[in-house]
Structure 1
């Protein structure tokens, strides 16, 4: 991970974004690349990680940046997972938005994802006596 460079505010080109999202199986996003690129470009913040010219990770947040942020996407190429890169990106966001009251995300309900986010200081909404709702249009 020593060769990985973290960049703030860099929007990767469509081909690199497609490769990353496809690699982690997020095909619901890659079905409409124009929409995905618009979403990335209109995010509150985008942080990317690069191994030379190879996009290996992307984290994007949406929100107002003052009272709430939502970690919309965090993707790490499979070959780069388990190296601490995801935690590094999360910790950057948590430090930069430490004054924001609510930092929210939704993720797959697996042992792996629960363990990852809990190890980075996140708790399930029920731990705050809250419930989350979502509606997904397909």
Structure 2
């Protein structure tokens, strides 16, 4: 299987809906027009494709100079554990290697923690940083 990567933000709304629903990120698909607009207004989007099928995506917001925030990284369940998320993450980290602050917020789970730690991230519960979030 050959996975192709693309930097276009022009992704069909139906493809986004399938990907986000597949990983049960249903809060995003309650308003598909907002999701489509969020994708288009992101600093950077890299998508992963198996032919015409959208199988993964990473989305970054921020200024691209002093901070990036990895907002979304997701891969269809059928394509998980094949290194696609790692490739997406590495492409973003390579693109923004000059940026000092690379931030993300995610739920706690052993496999999630392992993924981010193997990609060079450190949890704010370890070390001298503290993280705060206000969710509506």
Match of 2:21 in 1: 22
CA deviations 1:62-104 (Å, max 9, x no partner) are 0000000000000100010000110011111111111100000
Match of 1:47 in 2: 46
TM-score (norm 1): 0.95
Instruction: Give the match's secondary structure for 1:70.
Output: strand
Instruction: Give the match's secondary structure for 1:127.
Output: coil
The answer to whether the 8 Å contact 2:57/2:73 transfers is yes
What's the RMSD between the two structures over aligned residues?
1.0
Inter-partner Cα distance in structure 1 for 2:17 and 2:135 = 21
TM-score (norm 2): 0.96
Map 1:1-138 to 2 at 5 A.
Answer: 2-137=1-136
CA deviations 1:8-60 (Å, max 9, x no partner) are 12321110000000000000111111111111110000100100000000110
Once superposed, which parts of structure 1, at least 4 consecutive aligned residues long, lie more than 3 Å away? none
The answer to whether the 8 Å contact 2:9/2:40 transfers is no
